[in-house]
Homo-oligomer: A and B are copies of this chain.
Amino acid sequence: MKIRGVPENVETAETTDAGTRPAARPGGRNARVRSQILAATTELVARNGVAGLRYEEIAELAGVNKNSVYRNWPDRAELVSDALLQYAEDSAPLRDSGNLRRDLVDFLMVFSERLSSSIGRALSQAAIASPGNTDLDEAVRVAYDQRLDTARRRFDSAVDKGEIPPVDSYFLTELLSGPVYLYINRRRHPFTREVAEKIVDVVLAGIHATTP
């Protein structure tokens, strides 16, 4: 489908490789445009909520043509959900370096930085404010479920290697990230790498000790 004479992928015209779908090339211009749109969407949702979200504003903040936004995301709910998903993934990547303890400490450190940011604070606040029945709440849930999937895969890999006993990945994720959440939001004591290491050590030791 063409919209008002704009090619279906404007970005295609600017790539040398017009026969393939640019979105599939990581780091390509389309991927970059999409990423800018998603970042702008997250910032605007954090600032004004989902109801006030306007494609014109997103395009302006992202520095792209409005049609790029419409074409990639004709559905607004999907745009918000994809934006929060990207934010969540950037917020706390859970790598698999082969060393579970180090990966978890890194994960908590990045999570704490994002929680401290103004966008992180606004999203936490919005999610607490509107339980159950708003677009934002639904988008936060979708993004959150995706992150839990990543965590589950990481824990499964650690279980396979005998690093930890079989474990409820939701429970383990909340056990690890909950204290970080309170350290950051209550601002009573600084959250440091040493604290992150202590959390991971106590929780992993506790999981070992309580698994029959």
Contact = CB atoms under 8 A, between A and B. Distances in A.
Number of copies: 2
A195 B175 CA distance: 11
A193 to B, nearest CB: 14
B132 A121 contact: no
Pick from A145, A148, A175, A185 the residue with the most CB of B within 10 Å: A175
Interface of A is mostly: helix
Contacts of A144: 186, 188
Interface stretch (A24-32, A71-79, A90-98, A122-130): A122-130
A148 B175 CA distance: 20
A181 B204 CA distance: 20
Contacts of A182: 174, 177-178, 181
A202 B206 contact: yes
A53 interface: no
A187 B144 CA distance: 11
Given A202-B207, A206-B204, A210-B205, A185 B141 contact: no
A209 interface: yes
Contacts of A145: 188
Interface of A: 121, 124-125, 127-129, 131-132, 140-141, 144-145, 148, 170-171, 174-175, 177-183, 185-189, 195, 198-199, 201-210
- What are the nearest 7 A-B pairs in CB distance? A178-B178, A206-B206, A202-B206, A178-B179, A205-B209, A174-B179, A205-B206
28 contacts: A121-B128, A121-B131, A124-B128, A128-B185, A132-B187, A141-B186, A141-B187, A148-B188, A170-B189, A171-B195, A171-B198, A174-B178, A174-B182, A174-B186, A175-B178, A175-B179, A175-B199, A175-B203, A177-B178, A177-B182, A178-B178, A178-B180, A178-B181, A202-B203, A202-B207, A202-B210, A205-B205, A208-B209
